[in-house]
Amino acid sequence: MIAQHTETPGSANDVHLGCAASKLRNVGALLAVIGIGVAAFVTLGAENGVRHFMHAYLLAFSYALSITLGALFFVLLHHLVRAGWSTTVRRIAELLTAAFPVLFILFLPILGSVMAGKPVLFPWADVQLMHDDHLLHKKIAYLNANFFAVRAAIYFGLWTLLAVYFRKKSIAQDAAPSAELSLSMQRVSAPGMIAFALTTTFAAFDFIMSLTPTWFSTIFGIYFFAGCLVSFFATAILLMVSLQASGRLTAYVTIERFHDLGKFLFAFTFFWGYIAFSQFMLIWYANIPEETEWFLHRLNHGWAYASLALLFGHFIIPFVGLMSRHAKRNRKVLTFWAGYMLLMHWLDLYWLVMPAYDAETPVFGAAELGSTIGFVGVLIACFAHAGRNVSLVAANDPMLSESLSLQNQ
Amino acid sequence: MSSDTHNDMHANETAPTYGVLAEFDDVNGVIAAARKVRDAGYRKWDCHTPFPIHGLDDAMGIRPTRLPWLTLGMGLAGVACALLLQWWTNAYDYKLNISGKPFFSLPANIPVTFELGVLFAAFTTFFAVLGLNRLPMLFHPLLTVSRFGRATNDKFFISIEAKDPKFNASATIALLQAAGAGHIETVMGPKPSATKFPGWLVIAASSVFAFGLIPLSLAAKARFSTSSKPRIHIVPDMDNQPKSRAQTANALFADGRASRLPVEGTIAMGDLQEDVAFYQGKQGDAWLKGFPAQLTISDALMDRGQQRFGVYCAPCHGVSGLSDGTVAQRAEKLAEGTWVAPTKVTEPHVIVQPEGQLFNTITHGIRNMPAYGAQIPPQDRWAIILYLRALQKSHETGVSDVPARALPQLN
C-alpha cells in the first residue's frame, strides 16, 4: 500500500503560490492599512477615542496572535509526537508562524501606551493607582511597565526563534532530503513545547487578563490556548479549501486530512467549552467578590447576551454540528463550520477584551471591524510573503508517504 | 467420565461444514479478493489479517456500525439521569440550602451531568463492542485449522460461512481460486452434541446459586423479624467497656445515679468571675455606666473593637451601624416573615443605654440577635462597645470633634 504512493503526485506548479504570492501580499497589506486606518479614523478625535481605538486594536491583535500561536503549537506538536498524518498540512502552519516578527512590531503601540504610563488600555499602567489601591499595590513587582516590556520581548523573541528554526529546517529539507533534519526538529520540539506553554500562558495573563488587574484566574492561559487551537484549525481548513479551489495541493490534501483537521476542530471546540466552564464554575461557586467581579460584568447588561451567544454559539451548537463523521468528511459542511468557528473565536476575544472598555454596553462598529480586518490582512500578507518561493507541502519529509496513505477507517 | 461416554454415544454423527478458508500471501491479494467476494453478494464472511489494513472495510463493503448511535443515545440518557438524580435529591426529596444558591442550579449540576454522560457513553461503548462482536467467544471453528495460526503472523485469510445464503461449496471455492487464493480448505464446525451445554455444569451452577441464596435469605429474615438477643458482634473493638455511662443507674451510690455532681463550691479553672462589673456589666443592681476600672481605654482597644465589630456585628448591623449589613439586605430581599430587622446603633434608645446594658445584650442576645457570650471574650465585648460609642458619635459630629492630627486626612 505504502509503496504505491512514493511517487510525488501532481505536477510541480500546484504546490506553489507562484505569482499569486505577491498579489496576495499586496491585498493583505492593503487590507491592513485600510482596516487599521479606518479604525483609527473613526475613533481618534472622538471623546474617549484613544481608549476605544486601543481596545479595538488589542482585540484584533489578540485575534491574529492566537491564530499564529495555534500554528506554532501545531508545528511543535507534530514533531514532539513524531506525527505522520499531519505532514501534508504542516507547511501551511509553518508559513502562518512567519507573522511573529510583524506582530511584534504591531505590538509596539500597546507597549508604548504602557511605557508612557498612560492607562488607556491597562489600568495598572497608572503608577499612582497601583500605589493607592489596596488590592493592587502588592502586584507592583509584576505589573510594571519595565517588566512588562521585558516579558513581551521574551515572548516574541522565543516565538520568533522557534518559528524561524522550524520553518528554515523544514524548507531546507525540500532541497536536500535528510532524516537528520527531521530528527533535529524532533529534539528541539520538547524544550520548544515547554517554552511555548510558559510564554503563551503568561502572554495571556499580561495582554488580556491584566486588563482587569484586580482579577485573576490561573486557568486563563489554558483558556486562551484553547481559543488559539480552535482558530488555528479553522484557519487551516479554510486555507486548504481556498488553496484547493485555486487548483493547488489537490493531490496532497485528501478528504482524509480534512477529516483529521475537522476532528481536531471538534476536539478543541469541546476543550474550549470544558475549560471555559471550569473557569466559570469555580468562581461562581466560591462567590468571592474579587473573583466574581469579572464575570459579573459579563453576565449583566448587554454582555449577558454575548455570554449566552458564546455558550451556545462557541460550544453547544458546533459540538452537535461537528460531532458526526459525515460533517467532517463533507468539504462544504466543514468549510462552513471552520468559518463559523473563526467568527465565534472572534466573539470570544471580543468578550474578553471589550468589557474593559465599556462594562455596561457592548460596543461594535467600524473600529472593531476595521482593526480586525486589518490584522487578518496582516496574517494574509505574512503568509503570502513567507510562501512566495517555497513549496506549500513538505515534499521531501520522510513521513510524507505515511501521511498520503493514511485513511480513517 | 460421564462426558466421555456422552461423546462416545455420538461418535458416528457427522460434523456440519462451517465454511471455507482461503489463504493469501499479501495485502493487495486479500484486498482484491475481498472486492470480488463483496461483488459476488456474500454477506456472512470475514477477513483475517495480522495487522489492520486501511481500506479493507471499504473493499469488504462493511456497513457503517450502529455503535455511534448507541453511544450517543446512552450518553444523552446519562445526562438525563444525572439531571433527574440531582433534581430529585437536591430540589425535591431533601432540600439543602447551600450558601443561598438555588436548590436546582444548572452550573452546579454540570460536573455530575458531564461525568454521568461520559460514564454511560463509555460503558455502553465497551459492552456494545463486546455484544456486537459476540465476545467473549471461547471457541471458533477456524481455530481448528492449523494454518490459520499464521493469521497473526504473515498470512492473510478470507473465510466464508456455509450459513451464507449464496454459499455453494464448489462455486465458492471456485470464486476464491479465481480471486487468487494460495490455499483453500473446507472447515468443519463442531458436532451438534459438542455445542450442548454440559449437564454437570448445569447442576454445579444451580447448586452454587442455591447456596448463594442462603445468606441472602437469612439477611432478609433478620430484616423483617425482631429478636431479643444482641446482634452478632463481628468486630468488638472497644465497644463494650466496664464503665458507667451518662444518665444510667449505678448501685454504688446512695442515690443510684451514675452521673455525679461536682463537690459544692467547685469552680473550674479560669471561671472565677467575681468582678461583676467586668463580667456582667453590673454595678450593684443597676447597669454599669462607663467602662470597668480594670479596662485600659486605648487606641489599640479601639482598633480591636473595630475589627471585632467587623467580624461579628457588621454582617447584620452594617459596617456603619445603619442595619445595612449583607445578611440584613439578603433577608429583606427574601422577605421570609420571621425576620426582625437589626436595630440601628444610632437609635436614640440605644444611645442612652448604659455600657453595662449593651454588654449584657452582646452576652445574652436580644429578640432575633443570638447570644455572643460564648464566642466573644469579655475583653473583646468591651472593645466592641468602645467602638460602638465612637460609631454613634461619628453620626452626629462636626469638624470640631476631629483631632488636629487627623484633620489633613479629611481633605
Are A273 and A310 within 8 A, CB to CB?
Answer: no
**Residue B182 vs residues A68, A260, A385, B47, B48: alpha-carbon distances, Å:** 55, 37, 57, 15, 15
Q: Could you tell me if residue A2 is inside a domain?
A: no
Contacts of B57 in chain A (CB under 8 A): 409
| Interface confidence: ipTM more than 0.90 | no
Domain residue extents for chain B: 15-191, 276-396
> Which residue in B27, B53, B110 is closest to A281 by CB distance?
B110
Q: Do B54 and A277 touch (CB under 8 A)?
A: no
Which residues of chain B are within 8 Å of residue A406 when distances are taken between CB atoms? 54
Chain B interface, best mutation among A255, A271, A285, by max B CB count within 10 A: A285
Q: Count Cβ atoms below 10 Å from residue B251 Cβ, excluding itself.
A: 7
- State which residue of chain A sits closest to B65, comparing Cα positions: A409
Residue A240 to chain B, least CA–CA distance (Å): 24
Tell me whether residues B55 and A280 touch, CB distance under 8 A. no
- Verify whether the Cβ–Cβ distance A409 to B27 is below 8 Å: no
Set of chain B residues whose Cβ sits within 8 Å of the Cβ of A281: 107-108, 110-111
Residue A128, in any domain of the structure = yes
Average pLDDT, chain A: 92
Smallest Cβ–Cβ distance between B55 and the set A281, A287, A407 belongs to: A407
In terms of CA atoms, which chain B residue is nearest residue A408? B54
Closest CA–CA distance from residue A323 to any residue of chain B (Å): 10
Give mean pLDDT, residues A29-38: 96
Which pLDDT tens digit goes with each residue over A94-113? 999 999 999 999 999 999 99
The answer to whether A1 contacts B110, with C-beta atoms less than 8 Å apart, is no
Which segments of A311-330 does DSSP mark as H helices, in order?
317-323, 325-328
**A311-324 average pLDDT score:** 95
**Which of B54, B68, B107 is closest, CB to CB, to A407?**
B54
Give CA–CA dist A179/A401, Å, rounded. Answer: 14
Q: Does B68 lie at the interface with A, CB-CB under 8 angstroms?
A: yes
Q: Are the Cβ atoms of B27 and A1 closer than 8 angstroms?
A: yes
Verify whether the Cβ–Cβ distance A1 to B54 is below 8 Å.
Answer: yes
Residues comprising chain A, all counted = 409
Q: Give the tens place of pLDDT for each residue, A201-253.
A: 999 999 999 999 999 999 999 999 999 999 999 999 999 999 999 888 888 88
Give, rounded to a whole angstrom, the gap between the first and last alpha carbons of chain B. 109
pLDDT-derived band of residue A141, with 50, 70 and 90 as boundaries?
A: very high
Strand partners for B23: B157, B183
Q: What is the model's pLDDT at position A409?
A: 64
DSSP A40: H
Grid coordinates representing A224 are 486562551
Please answer whether residues A356 and A57 qualify as being in contact, where contact means their C-beta atoms are separated by less than 8 angstroms: no
Residues of chain B in contact with residue A407, where contact means CB-CB under 8 angstroms, are: 54-55
Asked if the C-beta of A4 comes within 8 angstroms of chain B's C-beta atoms, the answer is no
CB A226 within 8 A of CB A272: yes
Domain count along chain A: 1
User: How far off is chain A from B56, nearest CA to CA, in Å?
Assistant: 9
Cα angle B71, A320, A87; round to 5:
90
Test the B interface: residue of A311, A329, A407 with most B CBs within 10 Å: A407
Question: Is the CB of residue A369 less than 8 Å from the CB of residue A6?
Answer: no
Is B308 in contact with B301 (CB distance < 8 Å)? no
Model confidence over B96-108: pLDDT tens digits? 877 778 888 888 8
* Residues of chain A positioned with their CB less than 8 A from the CB of B110: 277, 281
Nearest residue of A to residue B109 by CA position? A281
CA atoms of A314 and A316, how far apart (whole Å): 7
CB B278 within 8 A of CB B292: yes
Residue A292 lies inside a defined structural domain of this protein: yes
| Cα B375 to Cα B386: distance, rounded to the nearest angstrom | 18
How far from chain centre, in Å, is Cα A350? 14
Average pLDDT over residues A319-344: 95
Domain spanning B276-396, CATH class: mainly alpha
According to the model, what pLDDT value does residue B241 have?
A: 85
The whole-number pLDDT of residue B192 equals 79
Nearest to A392 by CA among A233, A253, A185, A228: A253
Query: How confident is the model at residue B15, as a pLDDT?
Result: 80
CB within 8 Å: B57 and A409 = yes
Structural domain span for residue A69: 13-405
pLDDT average, residue stretch A290-294? 91
- What's the whole-number mean pLDDT along residues A48-59? 94
- Identify whether A193 is part of a domain: yes
Residue pair A379/A373 in contact (Cβ under 8 Å)? The answer is: no
- Chains A, B: CB contacts within 8 A come to 24
Grid cell at residue B245: 455511662
Average pLDDT rounded to a whole number, residues A249-271: 93
Work out the pLDDT band at A295, boundaries 50, 70, 90: very high
Contact B27 A284 (CB under 8 A): no
Angle at A380 between CA A379 and CA A383, to 5 degrees: 85
Question: How long is chain B?
Answer: 411
Does A284 contact chain B (CB < 8 Å)? yes
**What is the bridge-based pairing of β-strands B156-161 and B286-287?**
unpaired
| Contact call for residues B295 and B311 (beta carbons, < 8 A) | no
Per-residue pLDDT of chain B (411 residues; tens, 9 = 90+): 444 444 444 556 678 899 999 999 999 999 999 999 999 999 999 999 999 888 898 899 988 889 999 999 999 999 999 999 999 999 999 888 777 788 888 888 999 999 999 999 999 999 999 999 888 888 899 999 999 999 999 999 999 999 999 999 899 999 999 999 989 999 998 887 777 788 899 999 999 999 999 999 999 998 899 888 887 888 888 888 888 888 899 888 888 888 888 888 898 887 888 888 889 888 888 998 888 888 888 999 999 999 999 999 999 999 988 888 898 888 888 877 778 888 888 888 888 899 999 999 999 998 889 999 999 999 999 999 999 999 988 888 777 777 788 777 776
pLDDT for A143: 93
B162 touches chain A (CB under 8 A): no
Q: With the CA atoms of A115, A118, A123 and A126 taken in that order, what torsion angle do they form, in degrees rounded to the nearest 10?
A: 80
Which triple of cell numbers denotes residue B219? 439477611
Q: Which residues sit opposite B47 in a β-bridge?
A: B158
How many CA within 13 A on the CB side of residue B332?
Answer: 10
The predicted pLDDT at position B359 comes to: 93
- pLDDT 10s digits, A110-130: 999 999 988 999 999 999 999
Contacts of A21 (CB under 8 A, 6+ apart): A384, A385, A387, A388, A389
User: Residue B72: its chain A contacts at CB < 8 A?
Assistant: 323
Q: Which residues contact B42 (CB under 8 A, 6 or more apart)?
A: B160, B164, B166, B167
Tell me if A280 and B107 make a contact (CB, 8 A cut-off): yes
Residue A352 lies in a domain: yes
What gap in Å lies between CA A24 and CA A22, rounded to an integer? 5
Residue A405 in contact with partner chain B when CB distance is under 8 A: yes
Nearest CA in chain B to A280: B107
**Residues of chain B contacting A325 with CB distance shorter than 8 Å:** 68
Give the pLDDT confidence score for residue A367 in this predicted structure. 93
Interchain contact A312–B (C-beta under 8 A)? no
User: Cell digits for A32?
Assistant: 491592513
C-alpha cell at B362: 452582646
> Chain A interface, mutation test: which of B28, B53, B54, most A Cβ atoms within 10 Å?
B54
